[in-house]
């Protein structure tokens, strides 16, 4: 993402309906795990990092961009500026790695997933999300720096090929998918804009409704996955 998109993200993430629900999805998965050491890859302004800290995790926020790293530091968070292809942390160090809407930005997603596996402790957890359905590709994807939209089976296969065990996968933004598809066909740039208060509230209610409906396997706009590093998985890289 370019600098302007990062600045917009940081301005919006505390109050925008999409970021609010994504934080809640993270919260509901992380709260079932025993708190330990976590790595938040692609932390930007640190919204997800703060969720983990509130749950008792010790968190290192990793951010590639100068703008995102500066914003997270201004919020009192510990930030490391680094490339997700080469994580500057020790092998088998983390109980949890979070990578929400990160992998679609990376030129070598297989390398990044291998790095995630390397830094996870045996039995450690990855919580990740990515945009799905190449048919939804639009000017928005280009504007925010996406290199791909995944097919759900393709993304699960990517994680499993690195040795991770998929514990849970669920579609997200199923109810809003028709609206997103219509909007994206007409869009000419990023959707990272602040909606009017009434629209923000209404869309937030719709995505929260999904929590109570059997739509985990239905086509959505994103997929949210929890995966685990097996206890017996061998390391493929030396310690760093």
Rounded CA gap, 140 and 231, in Å?
Answer: 40
Q: Which residues contact 134 (CB under 8 A, 6 or more apart)?
A: 148, 149, 150, 151
Give the pLDDT confidence score for residue 95 in this predicted structure: 98
Rounded CA gap, 54 and 31, in Å?
Answer: 10
Which class for 32: exposed (0-12), middle (13-18), buried (19 or more C-beta within 10 A)? exposed
Rounded CA gap, 94 and 166, in Å?
Answer: 18
- What pTM was computed for the model? 0.91
Q: Which residues contact 161 (CB under 8 A, 6 or more apart)?
A: 110
Helix (H) or strand (E) holding 225: strand 222-228
Q: E-assigned strands of 19-164?
A: 37-41, 58-63, 79-81, 94-100, 120-131
Among the listed ranges 73-77, 92-96, 106-110, 221-225, which one has the minimum average pLDDT value?
Answer: 73-77
**Helix then strand then coil, % of the chain, to nearest 5:** 40, 20, 40
Give the pLDDT confidence score for residue 236 in this predicted structure: 58
pLDDT in tens, 141-158: 998 899 999 999 999 999
What is the residue extent of each domain of the chain? 3-228
CA torsion 226→68→24→57, rounded to 10°?
Answer: 70
pLDDT in tens, 39-53: 999 998 889 999 999
pLDDT in tens, 171-225: 999 999 999 999 888 877 777 777 899 999 999 999 999 999 999 999 999 999 9
Question: Residue 102 phi/psi, 5° resolution?
Answer: -120, -50
- Of 93, 98, 62, 99, the C-alpha closest to 77 is 62
Residue with tokens 């929400």: 100
**The domain over range 3-228 is classified in CATH as 3.30.505.50:** no
Decide if 109 contacts 228 (C-beta within 8 A).
no
Q: Which residues contact 75 (CB under 8 A, 6 or more apart)?
A: 45, 46, 50
pLDDT at 237 over 60: no
């Amino acid at each position: 993402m370019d600098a302007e998109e990062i600045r917009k993200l940081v301005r919006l993430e505390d109050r925008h309906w999409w970021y609010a629900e994504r934080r809640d999805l993270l919260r509901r998965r992380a709260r079932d795990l025993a708190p330990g050491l976590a790595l938040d890859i692609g932390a930007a302004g640190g919204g997800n990092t703060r969720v983990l800290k509130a749950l008792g995790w010790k968190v290192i926020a990793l951010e590639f961009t100068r703008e995102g790293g500066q914003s997270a530091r201004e919020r009192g968070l510990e930030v490391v500026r680094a490339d997700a292809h080469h994580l500057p942390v020790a092998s088998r160090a983390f109980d949890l790695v979070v990578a929400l809407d990160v992998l679609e930005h990376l030129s070598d997603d297989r390398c990044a997933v291998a790095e995630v596996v390397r830094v996870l402790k045996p039995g450690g957890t990855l919580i990740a999300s990515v945009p799905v359905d190449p048919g939804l590709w639009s000017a928005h994807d280009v504007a925010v720096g996406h290199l791909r939209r995944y097919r759900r089976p393709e993304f699960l296969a990517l994680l499993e090929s690195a040795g991770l065990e998929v514990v849970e996968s669920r579609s997200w933004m199923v109810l809003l998918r028709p609206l997103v598809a219509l909007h994206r066909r007409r869009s000419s740039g990023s959707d990272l804009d602040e909606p009017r208060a009434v629209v923000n509230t209404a869309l937030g209610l719709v995505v929260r409704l999904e929590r109570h409906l059997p739509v985990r396997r239905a086509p959505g706009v994103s997929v949210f996955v929890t995966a685990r590093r097996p206890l017996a998985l061998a390391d493929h890289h030396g310690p760093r």
